[in-house]
Every structure is written in C-alpha cells, then in structure tokens.
C-alpha cells in the first residue's frame, strides 16, 4: 500500500457518539464527575450515523487508520476502543488502531477529527478535515470531498 494516501480518523464524536453517551451518563449518574471513567463506557458507544459505511468505503481507497486519544480517566479505554473497532468492523482493522495523546506526531495526507486543536491536531503534517464543521457536517460531505 505504499502508493495509497494515508488517512487518519478520530473515534470520539467522529466514529462513535462520545458526547451523547457522556451527556446521558451525566444525567443518569450526576454524582460521577467523569462518566468516561466508568468501565464499559467506550465499548458501548453508538456509531455516528454513516460512519461505519463511510469508513468501509475509505478502507478500499486509502491506507486508513483510526487515531484516537485515550482517556486518562479510564485506563480500560485502551482495551474498550480496540473491542469497539472489532465489534463494528473486523479483526483486521484492529491492527490499524492507534491510541495517542498527540496527533501532531503523525504524518499523512488527511486527519478527520472533530477538534482542530487540543490533541496536536494543529500540528498534524497533512490536511485536517474538521468533522462536524459547516464544511464537513457529516460523513457524506467527507466522502464527497475525498472523492475529488
């Protein structure tokens, strides 16, 4: 795959609904300051609409990796994110999962992320596709852009 472009995809709020789960947990368990610290939190996240289909399309065209920042509040998140990838994709794709607190360390053509800074996104070597922004509000807009 050396001739394929490298694309990184964030997990939380790009592949799976972290914010929705966090909000629900905060409402149902207000005494827990960091709901993401609860065992099973990351494993049970619901996919973002269109994410699974879009990633499967992108995997055929790009050298695609999942690049996600781990939660320091929940050491189980490392395992749970890996399980999430296998449950929603396949075992082979677990070998393309990278967990790093600094996304600026990586080189590639594209990073699809819901944040533009905070985890090194501003130092990413390639182009940042700001998922959830007016230009890229959903997976269809990302697929259209990457098809150009």
12, 13, 17, 113: which one is catalytic? 12
Q: Report DSSP state, residue 37.
A: G
102 is catalytic: no
3, 10, 31, 102: which one is catalytic? 10
31 is catalytic: no
**Residues forming a β-bridge with 111:** 8, 128
From CA 2, how far away is CA 52, in angstroms rounded? 24
For 84, left (φ over 0), alpha (ψ -120 to 50), or beta? Answer: alpha
Which residues belong to the active site? 10, 12
């Amino acid at each position: 795959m050396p001739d394929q472009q490298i694309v990184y995809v964030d997990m939380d709020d790009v592949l799976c609904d972290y914010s929705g789960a966090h909000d629900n947990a905060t409402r149902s368990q207000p005494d827990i300051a960091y709901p993401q610290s609860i065992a099973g939190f990351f494993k049970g996240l619901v996919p973002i609409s269109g994410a699974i289909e879009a990633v499967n399309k992108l995997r055929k065209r790009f050298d695609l990796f999942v690049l996600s920042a781990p939660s320091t509040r929940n050491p189980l998140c490392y395992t749970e994110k890996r399980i999430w990838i296998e449950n929603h994709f396949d075992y082979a794709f677990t070998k393309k999962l990278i967990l790093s607190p600094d996304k600026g360390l990586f080189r590639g053509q594209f990073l699809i992320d819901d944040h533009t800074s905070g985890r090194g996104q501003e130092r990413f070597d390639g182009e940042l596709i700001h998922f959830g922004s007016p230009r890229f509000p959903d997976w269809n807009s990302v697929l259209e852009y990457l098809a150009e």
